[in-house]
């Protein structure tokens, strides 16, 4: 069988060269200049499988193949639902100061892609090796809700843990007055080891730099009711993780973005104060911003209102000085990136995921129109089911029948609001039925896919690139 050398992958381990090769179908293997007994071999030509065992051994030999905590450095997460996208992502980061989080998957995504946390980490690592990326990179266990979920990612070697306590956030606007009054009169202050008087006193006065924050006694109590259970859950998750990690550093993110109501300015301050009071050290915080952050499309809302609110969120971040603002559902939100980067002084984390999957479908629409038509039809049939766990507002009835479109018009569907969302949320069902076909075509057109990924992700990064390094740790 004929193989081609992937030039960027050539590296040296104890004076021995090792590199990656690709066959005619796009399948990748390791190869070395002489036998390596520790690696599982494919044949007698010093060719080795990209197996979990070989991945583990390589990580033990090459430090930069291990993910690292990234701290306050400007960072972007690039969730890869296909397991082959990392080299394209890395191309986009080349020449920037932005740190990539190359392994990023939620439990929801693991279920729909039938992958494990270890598979996600290994796939990212192979991409790092292929690209020869020797700078720090992160691995984000995204939207963790339980300790059991967190344990799987910890065991796999993840270094970034995003806690989603959304199930414990109370939506107060939906409560009737009688229920709300009852909650206000029966607050369990022991939940966060405080008292009514201590709680009120802590939020009576605000720092001079945050003079735009105001809060009545009722506002304070409402914030406790809304977020008290969530903060308590974060506390349990944090100290469990800390006990596992020991002295090993890690990135810890608190996410309250998947809630029905925006996080008010006072609520942001309240959450940060309570986290600090309870001894929780966090790297990033994801509020629920004003406007709509729907999957796969640009920000929907008043940009002037967003910027005004974001500046206040950033002022709170700056006051505490020890965390980044995290922007979730961040794919394709091009209209707000500059606002976010500049006002937070580049202490920002941006999460993208599904946009790379959509770019994969763009390639499929170009090279295999018949396969894309099948994917489109399946997504249209599945949308009403699969949209239930996502914030989307597509109207499939607005979309054309794909049978009426010529092949050369199919890629344009990846530029349209409704079709992007329909295709975005149905990835699980599509990969179940057509995953093998998709991977086959992407591997056959691998350079085309990587070039497209680089171009598309670079659009996400460009507003977060600064010429003079900001203060980082």
Closest CA to 356 of 263, 410, 423: 423
Q: Could you list the active site residues?
A: 142, 253
Token look-up 């000085």 returns 321
Instruction: End-to-end CA distance of the chain: give it in Å, rounded.
Output: 48
User: Angle at CA 184, nearest 5°, toward 183 and 185?
Assistant: 90
Closest CA to 85 of 454, 431, 416: 454
Spatial distance between the Cα atoms of 113 and 80, rounded to a whole number of angstroms: 11
Token look-up 């965390």 returns 323
Per the structure block, which two tokens stand in for 152? 């799987």
Helix, strand, coil fractions of the chain, as percent rounded to 5: 50, 15, 35
Residue 303 · residue 276 · CB < 8 Å = no
Residue 140 · residue 101 · CB < 8 Å = yes
Strands laid side by side in the 28-32 sheet: 3-13, 16-23, 28-32, 47-48
DSSP string, 291-315: SB--TTS--BS-HHHHHHHHHHHHH
Q: At 314, phi and psi to the nearest 5?
A: -65, -35
Spatial distance between the Cα atoms of 443 and 166, rounded to a whole number of angstroms: 38
Burial class (CB in 10 A: 0-12, 13-18, 19+), 108: middle
Per the structure block, which two tokens stand in for 471? 């203060």
Rg over CA atoms, the chain? 24
Closest CA to 250 of 275, 274, 284: 284
Q: At 391, phi and psi to the nearest 5?
A: -90, 95
């Amino acid at each position: 069988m004929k193989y081609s050398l992937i030039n960027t992958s050539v590296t040296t381990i104890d004076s021995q060269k090792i590199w990656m090769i690709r066959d005619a179908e796009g399948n990748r293997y390791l190869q070395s200049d002489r036998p390596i007994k520790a690696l599982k071999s494919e044949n007698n030509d010093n060719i080795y499988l990209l197996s979990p065992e070989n991945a583990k051994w390589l990580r033990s030999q090459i430090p930069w193949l291990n993910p690292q905590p990234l701290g306050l450095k400007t960072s972007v997460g690039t969730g890869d639902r296909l397991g082959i996208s990392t080299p394209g992502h890395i191309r986009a980061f080349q020449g920037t100061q932005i740190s990539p989080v190359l392994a990023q998957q939620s439990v929801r995504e693991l279920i729909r892609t039938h992958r494990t946390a270890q598979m996600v980490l290994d796939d990212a690592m192979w991409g790092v090796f292929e690209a020869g990326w020797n700078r720090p990179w992160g691995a984000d266990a995204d939207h963790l809700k339980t300790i059991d979920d967190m344990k799987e990612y910890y065991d796999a070697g993840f270094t970034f843990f995003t806690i989603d306590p959304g199930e414990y956030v109370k939506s107060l606007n939906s409560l009737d007055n009688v229920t709300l009054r009852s909650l206000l009169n029966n607050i369990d202050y022991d939940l966060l080891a405080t008292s009514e008087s201590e709680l009120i006193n802590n939020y009576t006065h605000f720092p001079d730099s945050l003079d735009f924050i105001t809060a009545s006694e009722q506002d304070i109590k409402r914030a406790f009711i809304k977020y008290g259970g969530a903060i308590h859950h974060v506390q349990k998750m944090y100290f469990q993780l800390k006990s596992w990690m020991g002295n090993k550093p890690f990135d810890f993110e608190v996410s309250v973005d998947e809630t029905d109501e925006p996080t008010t300015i006072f609520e942001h301050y309240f959450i940060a104060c309570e986290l600090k009071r309870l001894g929780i050290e966090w790297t990033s915080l994801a509020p629920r911003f004003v406007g709509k952050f729907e999957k796969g499309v640009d920000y929907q809302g008043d940009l002037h209102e967003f910027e005004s609110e974001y500046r206040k969120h950033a002022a709170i971040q700056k006051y505490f000085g020890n965390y980044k603002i995290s922007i979730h559902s961040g794919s394709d939100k091009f209209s707000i990136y500059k606002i976010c980067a500049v006002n937070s002084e580049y202490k920002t984390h941006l999460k993208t995921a599904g946009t790379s999957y959509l770019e994969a479908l763009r390639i499929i629409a170009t090279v295999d129109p018949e396969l894309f038509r099948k994917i489109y039809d399946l997504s249209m049939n599945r949308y009403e089911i699969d949209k239930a766990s996502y914030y989307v507002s597509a109207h499939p009835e607005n979309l054309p029948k794909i049978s009426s479109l010529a092949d050369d018009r199919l890629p344009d569907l990846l530029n349209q609001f409704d079709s992007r969302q329909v295709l975005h949320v149905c990835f699980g069902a599509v990969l179940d039925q057509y995953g093998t076909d998709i991977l086959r075509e992407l591997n056959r057109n691998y350079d085309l896919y990587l070039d497209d990924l680089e171009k598309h992700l670079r659009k996400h990064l460009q507003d977060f690139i600064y010429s003079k390094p900001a203060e980082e740790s």
